[in-house]
Amino acid sequence: MVPLQDVWPSAWMLAPLLLLLLTASALLWRGQKRPVASLLGHYLATKMVAWLGHRQRRLLEANTLNVRRVQEGGLLRHLRLNQHTEWGQQHRFKEVTGADSFRQCHPLTQYADYAELIHRVIQGVPEVLTVERPCTLTLRPPSSEWDHVYLCTPAANACFFLQGSTVWMDAAFHAFPSTRLLQRSASFGRLSSWRRAESWMPAGVSVGSWLFRRLHAAPFQMADERDALYVELLLALKDPSLEVLEAASARELCAAFATLQECWQQLIEDIRVGTLSPRLDLEHDLRQQVNRLLNADAHRADDLHLEFEKGFRGIARRLWPNLKLVAATLIGPNQLYGAILQNYCCQDVPFYSPVYTVAEGLVGVNIWPEKPVPTYLLCPGAIFCEFIPDTCWEEKQPKTLLMDEVEVDTVYELVVSGVAGLCRFRTGDVVNVTGFHNQCPIVEFKYRRGQTLNLRGEQTTEEMFVQALQSAVRQWAGAELVDFGCAESSLAGSFSVGSDHHYEVFVELVGIRNLSEDQRLKLDHSLQETSATYKSLRFRGSVGPAQVQLVRGGSFRELHRHLLNECPGNPASLEVPRVLHRREHVCFLQSRIIS
């Protein structure tokens, strides 16, 4: 038993420190009234993330000084841990002594090599790919189909949090110092629950989840994505002091603002009366949790109504005058969503694309938030990377380069080996090496090889198509692009116009409800200007002109929900592919054509 007289001096010494902490919290916080416990929890979470971020950034810097050693060390630890799994025994993990012998023992792989094994893991068979029990499923391009799901392990989640989330938040703290204050950020997509296979046990609450609950406004999860977006918007709107909007992807943020446009009147009414709308079909306990976070605020409701009446262009900065940053991934399909947000709802707000991930987990972190074009410093300690030069992409087993062997201003296909079980996996991601930080490559994401149109060998990438489409839309007076998808005419069936092979293009616009034939042809002209190969094929008559179909508003959000109903996983991890490869998805959009 500790003597009471020895305890009291320590308590008296801590009292001034606690008083100082609470005073600092009160001075830093400029937003709504919040309970002291909430302020203290937020303050501690911010400090913990700042400390972890600083520590992990120093570790990242150290790792970039000796990339080969760090890469090989992480690879060997993973192989030793999993050498007795089915996959490890089949590919002689215990014989691997380094990167060179690994490349000799293990072939390059694609998803088909893992499909049956992943299915067995989902059914509950242990130690197939990893000794660690997976916790969730994720969905990734190029196909984003039900049969293309990937495993996520607690180790992969921890790696993403420590080497990804804390590092980018550290970069944001330094680039935007006010984000260190006690204003909460609004995060969209975090309330949607992860779906788990029946055989899996929950992995438990990670350190990261507690911290992020403290940093964001919503402390619970919801099953329905639309209800979750509504509640996230409601909690964000009631706080005028928000300084950061955050989402896993720009698509999620676009979906949030689309929901805001549809539901702003009901959201205002909920804020005015201080209770959640009965239109949302929530369980009683969950509804009570939300209502406890609300309070009647007629003044805030009136201010919001005034801003909404002015229109939605630049609405983000008007709803949250202190808004300093939008953090969301702008890779692949999300590049277009980011451009739409920057040109419309989020005008004059800096955007930051913080991380680059693949199916296996974290690949790189953007430590330069202030740069307009996102580039990513590869994380040597997160995942083992190899690179296939573009001259070898069509080979089944091409030779690969390691991190310290790539060259600047050269494009490569990325190959990864990670802690979630995939080894020497060809991601299909094409990256351009823009430079080096010490010994570590800095890359810019270009496109995914699975997301290309190829009628006659022209290989029109998603990046090229987006560039051509944006050029065409600028020539359609009054039109603004919301979303699009495209397919080769062979998938369009009898609906397809014309006998020549061509692109079928589905566009969702605001501002106009019809397109003339001349306007539709603008896209084909833009494609010819973008791609010399496509122009040559059109000149020879080998392919016909692209056919543009206008679909009704919300069609692509409906397609996203349709895909979610087909497959498990987290809504945040599912991307609607720009290039549609399945007939049923083309038919889905055909049924929504209005012009």
Looking at the fold, whether 194 and 337 belong to one and the same domain comes out as: yes
Q: Who contacts 23 (Cβ-Cβ below 8 Å, separation ≥6)?
A: none
What is the rounded distance in angstroms from the CA atom of residue 486 to the CA atom of residue 461?
Answer: 11
- In tens, the pLDDT along 11-34 reads 444 555 555 455 445 544 444 555
Q: What is the pLDDT of residue 181?
A: 52
Work out whether strand 411-417 and strand 425-437 pair parallel, antiparallel, or are unpaired.
Answer: antiparallel
Query: Residue 199: pLDDT above 80?
Result: no
DSSP assigned state of 544: P
Q: What is the pLDDT of residue 178?
A: 65
Give percent of the chain above pLDDT 70. Answer: 82
Q: Name the least confident of 101-115, 459-473, 492-506.
A: 492-506
Two structure tokens written together for 463: 């990046």
Looking at the fold, whether 562 and 490 belong to one and the same domain comes out as: yes
Average pLDDT over all residues of the chain: 85
Q: What is the pLDDT of residue 430?
A: 96
Confidence of residue 581 (pLDDT cuts 50, 70, 90): confident
162 falls within a domain: no
Mean pLDDT, residues 530-553 taken together:
94
Looking at the fold, whether 437 and 460 belong to one and the same domain comes out as: no
Determine the longest span between alpha carbons in the chain, in angstroms: 95
Amino acid identity at 5: Q
Q: In the listed set 399, 431, 448, which residue is the last one of a domain according to the structure? A: 448
Q: Say whether the peptide bond before residue 350 is cis (omega within 30 degrees of 0).
A: no
475 falls within a domain: yes
State pTM to two decimals. 0.87
Q: Name the least confident of 48-52, 163-167, 518-522.
A: 48-52
Q: In the listed set 349, 367, 392, which residue is the last one of a domain according to the structure? A: 349
Work out whether strand 355-358 and strand 351-352 pair parallel, antiparallel, or are unpaired.
Answer: unpaired
Looking at the fold, whether 197 and 345 belong to one and the same domain comes out as: yes
Two structure tokens written together for 308: 């909404």
What is the rounded distance in angstroms from the CA atom of residue 387 to the CA atom of residue 71?
Answer: 14
Distance of CA 280 to the CA centre of its chain: 26
Q: What is the pLDDT of residue 228?
A: 85
Two structure tokens written together for 439: 């010994």
Looking at the fold, whether 530 and 575 belong to one and the same domain comes out as: yes
Looking at the fold, whether 478 and 465 belong to one and the same domain comes out as: yes
Query: Residue 142: pLDDT above 70?
Result: no
14 falls within a domain: no
> Using an 8 Å Cβ cutoff, are 242 and 320 in contact?
yes
Q: What is the pLDDT of residue 188?
A: 85
Query: Residue 195: pLDDT above 60?
Result: no
Angle (CA) 169 173 178, round 5°: 130
Q: In the listed set 432, 448, 464, which residue is the last one of a domain according to the structure? A: 448
Sign of dihedral through CA atoms 484, 487, 491, 494? positive
Q: Which domain holds residue 551?
A: 452-590
Q: Who contacts 551 (Cβ-Cβ below 8 Å, separation ≥6)?
A: 506, 507, 508, 589, 592, 593, 594
Mean pLDDT, residues 311-323 taken together:
95
Query: Residue 144: pLDDT above 60?
Result: no
Q: What is the pLDDT of residue 136?
A: 78
CA torsion, ordered 377, 381, 386, 389, to nearest 10 deg: 10
Q: Name the least confident of 179-183, 470-474, 521-525.
A: 179-183
26 falls within a domain: no
Looking at the fold, whether 439 and 469 belong to one and the same domain comes out as: no
- In tens, the pLDDT along 259-296 reads 999 999 999 999 999 999 998 888 888 899 889 888 99
Looking at the fold, whether 499 and 577 belong to one and the same domain comes out as: yes
Looking at the fold, whether 401 and 439 belong to one and the same domain comes out as: yes
Q: What is the pLDDT of residue 47?
A: 78
What is the rounded distance in angstroms from the CA atom of residue 219 to the CA atom of residue 237?
Answer: 16
Q: What is the pLDDT of residue 39?
A: 60
- In tens, the pLDDT along 160-190 reads 999 999 999 999 988 887 665 545 678 887 6
Pick the closest to residue 456 from 390, 500, 392 (CA basis). 500
Mean pLDDT, residues 108-131 taken together:
93
Measure Cα distances from 233 to 28, 228, 382 in Å: 24, 9, 33
35 falls within a domain: no
Looking at the fold, whether 336 and 204 belong to one and the same domain comes out as: yes
Can you give the C-alpha Rg of the chain in angstroms?
A: 25
How many domains is the chain partitioned into structurally? Answer: 3
Q: What is the pLDDT of residue 300?
A: 96
46 falls within a domain: no
Looking at the fold, whether 313 and 261 belong to one and the same domain comes out as: yes
- In tens, the pLDDT along 214-264 reads 555 555 666 677 888 899 999 999 999 888 999 988 998 998 999 999 999
573 falls within a domain: yes
Q: What is the pLDDT of residue 87?
A: 97
Looking at the fold, whether 219 and 272 belong to one and the same domain comes out as: yes
4 falls within a domain: no
Q: Is 414 exposed, middle or buried (0-12, 13-18, 19+ CB in 10 A)?
A: buried
